[in-house]
Structure 1
Amino acid sequence: MIAWGRTIAFMIVFYSLSVAIVLAAPIPALIGRPAMIGYAQVWARVHRWTTRWILGIRTRVEGARPDAPVLYAAKHQAMFETIEFALMLDAPALVMKAELARIPIWGWAARRYGIIVIDRQSSGAGLRRMMREAQAALAEGRSIVLFPEGTRVPPGERPPLRAGFAGLYRALGVEVVPIALDSGRIWPRKGAKRAGVVTFRFGAPVPPGLSRAEAEARVHAEMNALD
């Protein structure tokens, strides 16, 4: 009952504030990307505050985060990390599915922030566009965050990496830093969210230039280190 009470309170507070933030997003979006990035981080801080003080969720970080822009290959178990990464990784460009970019107002503002859209049904031209956008983000000094398993997965599941990872790995020519996490233990896809600690573990960097099989094997193992 306590977990459900906290979950309901979080949903009321966070989503009410989020509606107001999204409705006002066109203002910084029209000013420019730096303003939109700063505005998005305000939203991320609201999320961090509400998850900490209403839900009782804290974070623990293990391993070293690199200083230079890289391609992060992250496990994805909950909505929690998609927003937390905006603060933890200094406003990276996230690769997100095309459906999210079609949400009214939010999708347009997210594009202004610099998300990179991936369409799972895309042609080769769409994949090339994704890679150009990723290269542009790196040129701006921003890291790229990819969820290479393609979707949220429950704790304990280890689906194979999707083809988009190999394409970005070859095209970008930068280190890949895998991120393991365990948010799904306390933030299930359905049901009440629970108080606890979410661990983020930065794995050993994977250098560019490896074969696809070796790069995928190393990234997959590091991403699933907490399962």
Structure 2
Amino acid sequence: MTALRNLLFKLLFYGGSVPIVLTTPISALISWRALVAHTHFWTRWHGWTTRHILRIDQRIEGGRFGDMAFGGAPVLYAAKHQSMYETLELGRMLRNPAIVMKQELTDIPVWGWAAKRYGVIVVDREASAGALRRMLRDARAALAAKRSILIFPEGTRVEPGEQPELRAGFAGLYQMLKIPVVPVAIDSGLVWPKHGPKVPGTVTFRFGDPIPPGLPREEAERRVHAAINALDVPRG
């Protein structure tokens, strides 16, 4: 049954995603709001297929989302990254944040162009001075548009039990933007593993207590690292 569910999910979700992604430029050319609506249609399709075919549901812990607790003012969301699941779900859940995204993804034909129109923040893994300046420029533009920012501070998708150090991009944004950080712990890797079939279950999104701006880099990184790994179960 698990194999059948995975096969059906691939056929329906990815099959349906092809026309959705290919028509994204049309919405992008109309307006930013049309592009957002188009993106939400795709993420709702993802949510429907994961819920009804894979039997993967979600629950949210930690009360209201961070930016709501600040009267709608933008915040920096720092989230754990274990699967593709949260990359799509958080975009809709957090009301169109500017997502920090590695440059390779924005180089994908059609989709990458639309992602730039949406307003992602491109990060260069080489972390050159010029790349950091561009990232900060894009981040400030997002804040000026009253959009929160979403970053996966460990830099890449990891398996349950893996807790790599935070990448330098997080510290750069934290120190320069001077806005609160809301850590988000996620355990999607338990049902959506990096390797192997997806299995039924529930993905938990736990929003931690906001971390104020202005802390020393080491303390901010320590608190964020602990909070985003709060649901992690180290392998024995």
TM more than 0.5 = yes
d(CA) in 1 for partners of 2:3 and 2:196? 8
Kindly report which structure 2 residues correspond to 1:62-73, keeping only aligned pairs within 5 A, or say none. Answer: 62-64=61-63, 65-66=65-66, 67=68, 68-73=73-78
Letter in 2 for 1:39: H
Q: Which residue of 1 aligns with 2:220?
A: 215
Alignment of 1:143 onto 2:148? yes
Letter in 2 for 1:178: P
Q: Which residue of 1 aligns with 2:99?
A: 94
Query: Which of 151, 154, 161 is residue 156 of structure 1 equivalent to?
Result: 161
Partners of 1:178 and 1:223 within 8 A in 2: yes
Moved more, 76-85 or 108-117: 108-117
Q: Which residue of 1 aligns with 2:41?
A: 42
d(CA) in 2 for partners of 1:189 and 1:167? 28
Query: Which of 115, 125, 130 is residue 120 of structure 2 equivalent to?
Result: 115
1:32: how far off? 2.2
Moved more, 11-20 or 118-127: 118-127
Secondary structure at the counterpart of residue 194 of structure 2: coil
Q: Which residue of 2 aligns with 1:16?
A: 15
1:69: how far off? 1.5
Secondary structure at the counterpart of residue 214 of structure 1: helix
Secondary structure at the counterpart of residue 85 of structure 2: helix
Partners of 1:101 and 1:110 within 8 A in 2: yes
Normalising by the residue count of structure 1, what TM-score does the alignment of the two structures yield? 0.98
d(CA) in 2 for partners of 1:104 and 1:147? 23
d(CA) in 2 for partners of 1:102 and 1:162? 21
Letter in 2 for 1:168: L
Partners of 1:180 and 1:201 within 8 A in 2: yes
Unaligned runs of 5+ in 1: none
1:140: how far off? 1.0
Letter in 2 for 1:157: E
d(CA) in 2 for partners of 1:209 and 1:224? 22
Q: Which residue of 1 aligns with 2:25?
A: 26
Alignment of 1:104 onto 2:104? no
Q: Percent identity?
A: 60
d(CA) in 1 for partners of 2:129 and 2:231? 34
Unaligned runs of 5+ in 2: none
1:59: how far off? 0.4
Partners of 1:71 and 1:176 within 8 A in 2: yes
d(CA) in 2 for partners of 1:172 and 1:62? 26
- 1:147-171 deviation per Cα after TM superposition (whole angstroms, max 9, x unaligned): 0000001001111101111000011
From the superposition, tell whether residues 220 and 122 of structure 1 become closer, same or farther in structure 2 (CA, over 3 Å).
Answer: closer
Partners of 1:176 and 1:207 within 8 A in 2: yes
Query: Which of 200, 209, 213 is residue 204 of structure 1 equivalent to?
Result: 209
Secondary structure at the counterpart of residue 55 of structure 1: coil
d(CA) in 1 for partners of 2:34 and 2:133? 28
Q: Which residue of 1 aligns with 2:188?
A: 183
Letter in 2 for 1:6: R
1:122: how far off? 4.1
**Count of residues in correspondence between the two structures:** 226
Query: Which of 165, 169, 172 is residue 174 of structure 2 equivalent to?
Result: 169
Runs of 4+ in 1 over 6 A off after TM superposition: none
Secondary structure at the counterpart of residue 161 of structure 1: coil
- 1:113-154 deviation per Cα after TM superposition (whole angstroms, max 9, x unaligned): 111111102421111111111111111121111000000010
Partners of 1:40 and 1:113 within 8 A in 2: no
